[in-house]
C-alpha cells in the first residue's frame, strides 16, 4: 500500500514535500530521496503519531500494520 496516494486522495496532503515534512517528520525532499524504498520505520512511527493526533484513526491503524507486519 502506498500511503502517500491514500493521503492525496483524501486531500490530507498536496505534495511529496508536504507529505515528507508534515507526516513523516523529515526533510522536505525525504520522500523523493527514498524513492521506491518507502519510508523508514522512524518516519512511519512519526506518521502514525501524526495521523492519530489528527484523529484519522483508520489510517493510523493501517500505518501501524505496516510497522508491525511489513
pLDDT tens digits, 12-63: 999 999 999 999 999 999 999 988 888 999 999 999 999 999 999 999 999 9
What was the pLDDT predicted at 70? 79
Q: CA 33, CA 69: separation in Å to the nearest integer?
A: 24
Q: Give the three-class secondary structure for 31.
A: helix
Instruction: Give me the torsion for CA of 57, 60, 65, 66, rounded to 10°.
Output: 160
Look up the pTM and report it. 0.90
C-alpha to C-alpha distance for 12 and 67, rounded to whole angstroms: 21
Tell me how many domains the chain contains: 1
Give the domain extent around 31. Answer: 3-69
Separation between Cα atoms, residue 11 and residue 64, nearest integer Å: 21
H helices within 1-70, ranges in order? 3-9, 16-18, 30-34, 41-53, 57-69
Amino acid at each position: 500500500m502506498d500511503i502517500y496516494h491514500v493521503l492525496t486522495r483524501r486531500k490530507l496532503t498536496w505534495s511529496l514535500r508536504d507529505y515528507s515534512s508534515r507526516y513523516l517528520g523529515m526533510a522536505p525532499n525525504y520522500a523523493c530521496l527514498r524513492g521506491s524504498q518507502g519510508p523508514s520505520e522512524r518516519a512511519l512511527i512519526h506518521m502514525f503519531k501524526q495521523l492519530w493526533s489528527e484523529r484519522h484513526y483508520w489510517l493510523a491503524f493501517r500505518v501501524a500494520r505496516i510497522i508491525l507486519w511489513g
